[in-house]
Amino acid sequence: MGLYDLIIAEITCPNTEKASTIGIQIKWTDCSQKNYKLGDNINFAKNMSSLWIQVYYCCSQCNTVSHPAYINIRKGRITEIISESEYQKRGLEDFLDAKELTQNL
């Protein structure tokens, strides 16, 4: 109960445009209080060639409670973690909402 895993990532704040290291709380993995980073196998969506998941994180740069970020998982491995502006720049559209993932588990 109340457990989560963390994805540690460096991401640029949309307000200050400064990069900082953040911890994204996720509840759609096995929630054993592990820390994941780029390149790690996350034991999720192993059979999918590419999956984008939208998450929100607390920003230490501007103290905003929730900036969106997007995590790309390929065959169970974290391959990218990008900001919303980068996501839009690339014209990506399809993603899963992390909140829905949590509810479905």
> Which residues sit at the interface with Zn ion, rule CB under 5 A?
13, 15, 59, 61-62, 64
> Residue 13 or 96: which CB sits closer to Zn ion?
13
Least Cβ distance, residue 6 to Zn ion (angstroms): 18
Residue 20 CA to residue 39 CA, distance in Å, equals 18
Residue 37 CA to residue 80 CA, distance in Å, equals 10
Residue 80 CA to residue 21 CA, distance in Å, equals 14
> Residue 33 or 63: which CB sits closer to Zn ion?
63
> Residue 59 or 73: which CB sits closer to Zn ion?
59
Q: How many helices (H) and strands (E) does the chain have?
A: 2, 7
Least Cβ distance, residue 30 to Zn ion (angstroms): 29
Least Cβ distance, residue 7 to Zn ion (angstroms): 17
Least Cβ distance, residue 23 to Zn ion (angstroms): 14
* Residue 74 bridge partners (DSSP): 77
> Residue 42 or 59: which CB sits closer to Zn ion?
59
| CA 13, chain centre distance (Å) | 14
